[in-house]
């Protein structure tokens, strides 16, 4: 049928994000059965409020900083004092030597990735992702006419297999996206894994004679359990560019605030920094939200309530294991990755009978699993467990 929108966008209207669809389905079921009787584990929308300090900082900034500055345009890379504060905080935590010019403030992790992909990609350039992966990467790469190349999953521990990544690299590879703690598995990539990936990339850079960048997508960096540490990648691989977001660490996903770190040691660093600031502007972000830049500057040491996520993790894991499901104990983020005893989409269909909404692994290029986002209230988890138990019985576990 004739239509007046672009072919690509038409395609997207016909095949929209499964996670978003589930989210809408959750709203539909809630209208029918009441919100408290629907166990919606579909989307990574933090249920815990932002720390009090965020609200205080909003009022402090509004009361004490000049309005024309707080709400005005600034350099497209961000306020220099905010960039300097972010660089200082990273240096304290990771022993690095960044300064303000290494930081570009962005509209969240999605903004970071789009800005850096716009900066790096020529049409036809390849970007390697590691399954299972956040499916939006495919859209982001397509935005700049790049080509997504998927390295296969490495079950059962889902630590990426460096050799398999090596096989996915070609002379057209511009970047590899790494996401740890991982959405959807909750796995933290170990130092050993990172070193192996770095060695493979170093060798391939030499072979092909050009840079291959790691784009480290880190919205879950601070969401770790049992004292687990997330390796800081610029220490292991020179051509690493980090994309960060406060969406999860401060429960601020609607505010769209994050940053890119572009280290001086990276190949073409100065050019990338200049181009990323321009990309921020010409993609229409212009700059990261001004008020939020000023607010996060005062909240660099603040974190969401990781203890509540940890309680959810424990309760859900114990309940699922008790019911007979096979799942890994997440080390970070707020996702449980559960093996399905039947086809994953069928599992999601069956779960809906108990008003439980989960996302099929095939939505992350890894069928045979489902993702349960446990960034919900503990009541939701408690309420869902009898349904999970019945589902396990129905599946003869
Ligand atoms: N990357 C990953 C792995 C995510 O899970 C998400 C959001 O869920 C994003 C990026 C986008 O985050 P933001 O809201 O900061 O754009």
Write out pLDDT tens, residues 55-78: 999 999 999 999 999 999 999 999
Ligand 1 centroid vs 46 CA: distance in angstroms?
Answer: 12
pLDDT (average), residues 126-133? 98
Write out pLDDT tens, residues 90-110: 999 999 999 999 999 999 999
Q: What CA–CA distance (Å, rounded) separates 186 from 312?
A: 13
pLDDT (average), residues 128-136? 97
Q: Peptide bond preceding 156: is omega within 30 degrees of 0, i.e. cis?
A: yes
* Of residues 103, 117, 96, the one with CA closest to residue 261: 103
Write out pLDDT tens, residues 138-160: 999 999 999 999 999 999 999 99
Q: What CA–CA distance (Å, rounded) separates 308 from 253?
A: 18
Ligand 1 centroid vs 363 CA: distance in angstroms?
Answer: 15
Which of 43, 106, 109, 179 to probe ligand 1 with, by most ligand atoms within 8 A of CB? 109
Q: What value does the mean pLDDT of the chain take?
A: 96
Q: How far is CA 153 from CA 22, 185, 241, 361, 397, in A?
A: 24, 11, 23, 11, 25
Write out pLDDT tens, residues 157-210: 999 999 999 999 999 999 999 999 999 999 999 999 999 999 999 999 999 999
Is 118 within 8 Å of 107 (Cβ atoms)? Answer: no
Residues 6+ apart with CB under 8 A from 314: none
Q: How far is CA 53 from CA 215, 248, 310, 343, in A?
A: 30, 15, 21, 45
Which of 116, 134, 220 to probe ligand 1 with, by most ligand atoms within 8 A of CB? 134
pLDDT at 82: 98
Class of domain 52-297: alpha beta
Nearest-5° angle of CA 97, CA 273, CA 118?
135
Which of 245, 260, 280, 371 to probe ligand 1 with, by most ligand atoms within 8 A of CB? 245
Ligand 1 centroid vs 122 CA: distance in angstroms?
Answer: 24
pLDDT at 13: 86
Rounded to the nearest 5 percent, the helix, strand and coil shares of the chain are 45, 15, 40
CA-proximal residue: ligand 1, atom 10 (nearest): 109
pLDDT at 64: 98
pLDDT at 223: 97
CA-proximal residue: ligand 1, atom 12 (nearest): 109
Q: Please, which pLDDT band fits residue 22 given cuts at 50, 70 and 90?
A: confident
Which ligand 1 atom is nearest residue 113's CA? 10
CATH 3.90.1150.10 domain span(s) along the chain = 7-50+305-394
pLDDT at 379: 95
Q: In 10 A of CB 250, how many CB atoms?
A: 24
pLDDT at 144: 98
CA-proximal residue: ligand 1, atom 5 (nearest): 183
Q: Which CATH number fits domain 7-50+305-394: 3.40.50.300, 3.90.1140.10, 3.90.1150.10, 3.40.30.10?
A: 3.90.1150.10
Write out pLDDT tens, residues 306-339: 999 999 999 999 999 999 999 989 999 999 999 9
Q: What percent of the chain has pLDDT over 90?
A: 91
Write out pLDDT tens, residues 239-252: 999 999 999 999 99
Q: What is the CA radius of gyration of the chain?
A: 21
Helix boundaries (H) for 34-122: 52-64, 67-70, 80-94, 108-120
Q: Between 182 and 17, whose confidence is greater?
A: 182
Strand pairing report for 103-106 and 39-40: unpaired
Ligand 1 centroid vs 179 CA: distance in angstroms?
Answer: 10
Q: Please, which pLDDT band fits residue 1 given cuts at 50, 70 and 90?
A: low
pLDDT at 243: 98
Ligand 1 centroid vs 203 CA: distance in angstroms?
Answer: 30
Ligand 1 centroid vs 207 CA: distance in angstroms?
Answer: 33
Q: What percent of the chain has pLDDT over 70?
A: 100
- Supply the DSSP symbol for 374: -
Around ligand 1, the residues with Cβ closer than 6 Å are 44, 108-110, 134, 179, 183, 217, 219, 245, 247, 253, 258
Write out pLDDT tens, residues 230-277: 999 999 999 999 999 999 999 999 999 999 999 999 999 999 999 999
Helix boundaries (H) for 121-253: 136-143, 162-168, 191-208
Q: What CA–CA distance (Å, rounded) separates 147 from 238?
A: 24
Is 18 within 8 Å of 43 (Cβ atoms)? Answer: no
Which of 47, 178, 247 to probe ligand 1 with, by most ligand atoms within 8 A of CB? 247
Is 352 within 8 Å of 384 (Cβ atoms)? Answer: no
CATH 3.40.640.10 domain span(s) along the chain = 52-297
Is 102 within 8 Å of 90 (Cβ atoms)? Answer: no
Which ligand 1 atom is nearest residue 108's CA? 15
Ligand 1 centroid vs 33 CA: distance in angstroms?
Answer: 30
Residues 6+ apart with CB under 8 A from 203: 166
The predicted model scores a pTM of 0.96
């Amino acid at each position: 049928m004739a239509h007046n929108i672009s072919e690509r966008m038409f395609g997207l209207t016909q095949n929209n994000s499964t996670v978003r669809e589930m989210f809408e389905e959750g709203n539909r079921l809630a209208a029918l059965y009441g919100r408290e009787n629907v166990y919606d584990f579909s989307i990574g929308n933090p249920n815990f409020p932002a720390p009090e300090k965020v609200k205080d900082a909003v009022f402090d900034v509004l009361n004490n900083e000049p309005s024309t500055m707080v709400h005005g345009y600034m350099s497209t890379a961000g306020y220099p004092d905010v960039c300097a504060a972010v660089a200082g905080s990273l240096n304290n935590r990771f022993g690095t030597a960044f300064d303000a010019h290494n930081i570009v403030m962005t509209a969240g992790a999605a903004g970071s990735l789009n800005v850096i992909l716009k900066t790096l990609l020529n049409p036809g350039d390849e970007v390697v992702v590691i399954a299972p992966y956040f499916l939006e990467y495919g859209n982001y790469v397509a935005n700049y006419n790049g080509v997504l190349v998927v390295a296969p999953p490495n079950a059962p521990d889902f630590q990426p297999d460096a050799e398999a990544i090596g096989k996915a690299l070609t002379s057209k590879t511009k970047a590899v996206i790494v996401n740890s703690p991982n959405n959807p598995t909750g796995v933290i990539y170990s130092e050993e894994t990172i070193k192996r990936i770095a060695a493979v990339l170093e060798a391939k850079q030499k072979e092909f004679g050009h840079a291959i960048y790691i784009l480290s997508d880190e919205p879950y960096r601070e969401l770790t359990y049992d004292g687990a540490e997330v390796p800081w990648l610029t220490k292991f691989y020179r051509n690493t560019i980090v994309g960060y977001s406060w969406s999860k660490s401060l429960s601020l996903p609607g505010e769209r605030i994050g940053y890119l770190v572009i280290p001086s040691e990276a190949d073409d660093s100065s050019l990338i920094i200049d181009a990323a600031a321009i990309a921020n502007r010409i993609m229409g972000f212009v700059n990261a939200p001004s008020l939020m830049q000023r607010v996060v500057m005062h909240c660099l040491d603040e974190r969401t309530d990781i203890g509540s996520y940890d309680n959810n993790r424990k309760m859900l894991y114990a309940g699922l294991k008790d019911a007979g499901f096979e799942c890994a104990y997440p080390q970070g983020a707020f996702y449980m990755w559960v093996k399905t005893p039947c086809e994953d989409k069928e599992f999601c269909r069956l779960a809906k009978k108990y008003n439980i909404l989960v996302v099929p692994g095939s939505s992350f290029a890894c069928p045979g699993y489902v993702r349960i986002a446990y960034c919900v209230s503990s009541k939701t988890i408690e309420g869902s467990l009898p349904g999970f138990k019945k589902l396990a019985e129905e599946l003869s576990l």
